[in-house]
Chain A
Amino acid sequence: MDSVVCLDNGACSIKIGYITDEKPKVIPNCIMKAKSEKRRPFIGNQIEECRDISGIFYILSFTKGYITNWEVQKNVYDYIFSTEFPVNFSDTKLIITEPLFNFPIIQEAMVEIFFEEYDCCAMAKTTAPDLCYYQYTNTQDLDEPPLCCVVIDVGYSFSHIVPFVKGKKVLSAIRRIDVGGKLLTNHLKEIISYRYLNVMDESYVINQMKEDGCFISQDFNSDMANAKLKYPENKIAREYVLPDCTTIRRGYLQPPGTAKKTDDYQMLRLNNERFAVPELLFHPLDIGIDQMGLAEATIHAINACPEETRPHLFANIIVVGGSAKFSGMQTRLYKDIRSMAPEFFTVNVTVPEEPQTYSWYGGQYLANDPNFEQSLITRQDYEENGARGVLFDE
Chain B
Amino acid sequence: MEKIVDQEAAFQARIDAGEKIEPKDWMPEKYRKTHIRQISQHAHSEIVGMLPEGNWITRTPTLRRKVGLLAKVQDEAGHGLYLYSAAETLGISRDELFHQLHIGKAKYSSIFNYPTMTWADIGAIGWLVDGAAIINQVMLTRTSFGPYARAMVRICKEESFHQRQGYEIMLTLCEGTPEQKAMAQDALNRWWWPSLMMFGPRDAESPNTEQSVKWKIKRKTNDELRQQFIDITIPQAEILGITVPDPDLKWNEERQHYDFGEIDWDEFWQVVKGNGPCNKERLQARNDAWNNGAWVRNAARAHAEKRAEKERTAEAS
- Asked if A and B bind, the verdict is no
Using a CB–CB distance below 8 Å, which chain B residues touch chain A?
A: none
